[in-house]
Structure formats: C-alpha cells, structure tokens
Amino acid sequence: MKFILEGLTKCVPRIGALKEIEAHPGLSIETPMAMLYTRGGSIPHITHEVFKIISKEPQIIQIPMVSTYHYQEVMEEYDGNISEFVGLKDCLTCVSVQDPGDLTQPGHHAKDHIPLWTRSGKVLLNAEQYMNTVEAFKPDMYYFLSDGDTNAKSATKRISKSVENTVNFFKICLDRHRKSEVLKNSFVLSAIAGGYCTKARKKCINEVTKDDIVKGVLIDGLHNNGPEVEFIAFEEPKSIVEFIVNYLPEDKMRVVQGCWNPVVILKLVRMGIDVFDTSYCNLVTERSSALTFNFDNVSETQQYEINLRQNQFADDFKPIIENCACLACRKHTKAYIHHLVTVQELLGPLLLKIHNNYHFMKFFEKIREAIRNDTLKDLEDVVERQFMAHQRMLLNTKATN
C-alpha cells in the first residue's frame, strides 16, 4: 500500500490517496478522510448486516487495541485476518492503541510498558507483546506502539518520558516489522509524542520518521481522548500541530485521532492533516442527536445539530435532513426517531448513527472538493457560524434552566 500526494506541501491543505492496496487492487481511497470508529471491531449500534446495506464502497475501519486485546489468543489460531474475524472482510483495517472515543486514564505507568484499560481491567503492554497481537491480527495498516499520555497541562518530566518510551517502542516495533513475513505488506505509521513541547516533538520526529518503512505518522499526545476533545479550542493545539507539520517529511501521511468537532477538523485540514476518525459521530449519537449542519451550499446556514429527544420533534414528519440520501432519512421521520429514543428502542441510536456517519462522510467529500476548488476557507466559515450559533443556544438554554 502506498500514500500518494497530488503535490508535496507542508502546512497547507492537500489531496492524497492510498493506492496499490494488496487486498483491493485498483482501489483508491482519497484523503482527507475519516476512518470508521469501532469498539471491539464493531461499529457501535450498526450490525454487520446493516453496514453492508448502507456502505457500498470499502472503508478503513479503526481497530483500537484496547477493545480487541482479548482477541489475541483466538486470532493466533484463526486462519484469517482481523477484518474477516469481525465480519467486515471487505474493509481495510488499521490497528491503533487507545480508543479515541473513551477517556484514556492518565498515569499508572511502568517501565517499558503502557497501561491498557481493557474490559478485563488494566493490562501492562510492552512493545513485544503489542507486536505479537498485531501479527495475530494481520491488519492492512497499524501504528507502532507509543506513549501518548500527555496533554496541554503535562509536566516536563512526563513529556520527556513519553518521548523516551515512544522512541524505545519504535525501535522494537521496527525491528519486529522487518523480520515479520505476516506484516511485510502492512502500511506502517509511527507515533510522534512530546506533548506541547516543540523540543520534545522535534527529538521524537528525528527518531521515528527516518526509516523508509514508515509511511505515515500519528500526532499523538495532544489529549487523553474521550468526549472532552469536542470542546478543545483550536488555539490550544494550533501552534504545536503547526510546528510538527512544518518539521515532518512532506510525503508522510498525517493522522490526528479524537472526537474533534467539524470546525477544528477543517482548521486541521487547512494545516495539512490527512486522516481523522468518526468517533465524533458516536459521541453525537450517544446524546440522541443528529448532525444537520449545512455544507452543500456554503452561502447558507442551518441548525448545526438537533436532539431528537426534544418534544418539538414528536409531530415532525419530515426526515432529519431534506434530500439526505442516508437510509434513516429516506425511510424514517424525525417523529418516529423521537419516539424510538424516548422509549429507548435500540433502533433509535441505530438510525441516528446511520445518519451521522453518512453526514460525516459526505462532509469529508465536500472538504476534498473544497480543496480542489480553493474554497476551503468559505466552507470553514459557514460551518463555524453554525457551530458557534449552536453553542450559544446551548448556553442560553442552560442559563434559562
């Protein structure tokens, strides 16, 4: 698998593509794009059968190790790869370490290990154990193990240790990758640790990007994952992301994980980030909401998000969005979904998740179109107006109550 750019650029929006994919000859997946967020190898609320109905093209599914670590023993005996095991054999897989949709508990460090908070409790994982699991999974893509337990408030000692651990993990993972017949065709991404310290980031970049085996990088350690990422102001990571992107080799694919809201995603795309994930869609679905922000006509705005639990939708017999082609909007009304989420029927979050994932993927199609048409700033402005209006409405509602 190769990552090919339309032009080699630094801190500017760019179009790229993953091509020459062994399992899917002729397939090209364009960036900027979002990997499909999973837990335990399954897209939350969406069954494999429903996914086959709503998704006609191969997607990249994100497989967090924290929710699939317990699969290792059976995968070692299974004659197949992780995508076949979880029932999504037509999808590409990318193994990550932590779950971007759940808070990664800080602390609990041990020498040469990172803590994984699995469903069975804490597991201390070193680089050799991690690579054993990756080899058992046989993914199309994977990140080298890293220590990303930093955020904007991390102390210098913690930042220094995260870089030291990540570099040590990199060396072990790289050596294992070179010797592995199973992983020889996997697309490798290294992780860049270092919190919000430019000196630490520079040191890590110098160590983990110099080998040609590394085709992409994960900018790790900007946050501790989970729902609070939605409300991180772009000004917080802006300067450190800008420094990292300007210092990176231009040809490496750049990944940022987390529940970033669409406004921050657009700003990160403008800085040259290529890949995100759909954990934000899961966050919106869990609060019984549907994404409705406008991106088709950048001269118009509409309500950014609606909560289908609100009584105002009890008699609204229109789809979530008029002319939306997702299964939820084509077949069901806001009134019906309101009923489902009110009585806690499982079909409610399923329909919301179908719509939110579809809307998010269409949003990324619009991003790629806007980059080609040089209208990305216009798109950012209209989405930001809708997002800020929604935040003001929430604050006013909270103050009234």
In three-state secondary structure terms, 252 is coil
Structure tokens at 195: 């919190």
Cα dihedral sign, 166-172-177-181: negative
Buried b (16+ CB within 10 A) or exposed e, 278-295: bbbbbbbbeebbbbbbbb
**Residue 173, annotated as binding a ligand:** no
C-alpha–C-alpha distance, residues 69 and 115, integer Å: 12
**Residue 324, annotated as binding a ligand:** yes
Structure tokens at 81: 């790869």
**200 burial type by CB count under 10 A (0-12 exposed, 13-18 middle, 19+ buried):** buried
Identify the residue whose tokens are 């190898």: 41
Nearest alpha carbon to residue 336 among 350, 324, 325: 350
Q: CB count, 10 Å around CB of 11?
A: 15
C-alpha–C-alpha distance, residues 40 and 42, integer Å: 6
Nearest alpha carbon to residue 62 among 278, 272, 282: 278
C-alpha–C-alpha distance, residues 254 and 247, integer Å: 12
**Residue 329, annotated as binding a ligand:** yes
Annotated binding site for Zn(2+): 324, 326, 329, 355
Annotated binding site: 324, 326, 329, 355
